[in-house]
Amino acid sequence: MTENQSVSSQEEIFSPTNSSLYKIANTDWSVPNSNEPKSNQQKDVCKVCFTCVFKVLISAGISVWLIYAIIALSNENMKDIKDDCPNSQIWPCLCTMIGVCGISLILESKPKSDKNNPNILGLCLNIACFIWMTVELFDNCAKNKLTEYDIYKLLFIFYWIYVGCFSLLIIITLCMCCSLCFNENLDNEPLEKPIVDNLDI
């Protein structure tokens, strides 16, 4: 009886599950990061603040541009532009841009029911307006005879605002794609456990 107990105790002592090497090798060596929730909260606050400041600046800039554009339309007659360039449609083009900006500001101020679905119609409308502005601004007659008009100057400013927005959108899209690819590569890397050498048991 005593011999069986001693043999069983020796087997328990020298079993692989009771060895120090087994316990160390299967220990979770990851250090708990207590600051991770706090850092994530700070990142969220920074994102919200940056988004709010960016929207306020864009809305203020477009509002100022709208005021000057309406004043330019009231001071400069379409007949004068037609006398210089009969085929130019720069006056109605600026009127259309004013309407698009006004509608965009109104829609932006309303709460969105579904933020995940992109506004395809709005994107197509903005692309069409950008193409129209390009045709009207870079026409040979407009470049030679209409550059002194405030309508041309304001439409030219709005054109470069469009260029900046499209460029920023492309850069943000590329950065998001690169970030997703980088995170996917990190997730696919195998986790390595620490190797313990020359351990005295």
65: CB partners within 8 A, 6+ apart: 101, 154, 157, 158, 161
Going by pLDDT thresholds of 50, 70 and 90, the confidence category of residue 201 is very low
Q: Is the per-residue pLDDT at 61 higher than 90?
A: no
Mean pLDDT of 141-159: 91
Q: Is the dihedral of CA 68, 57, 175, 107 positive or negative?
A: negative
Mean pLDDT of 104-111: 73
- The pLDDT, as a whole number, for residue 38 is 58
pTM of the full structure:
0.63
- The pLDDT, as a whole number, for residue 181 is 84
- The pLDDT, as a whole number, for residue 60 is 84
Tell me how crowded residue 155 is: count the other CB atoms within 10 A of its CB. Answer: 22
Reported as a single tens digit per residue, the pLDDT across 35-44 is: 555 566 776 7
Q: Which long-range contacts (CB under 8 A, 24 or more apart) does 195-200 make?
A: 196/21, 196/24, 196/25, 199/20, 199/21, 199/24
Q: Is the per-residue pLDDT at 13 higher than 80?
A: no
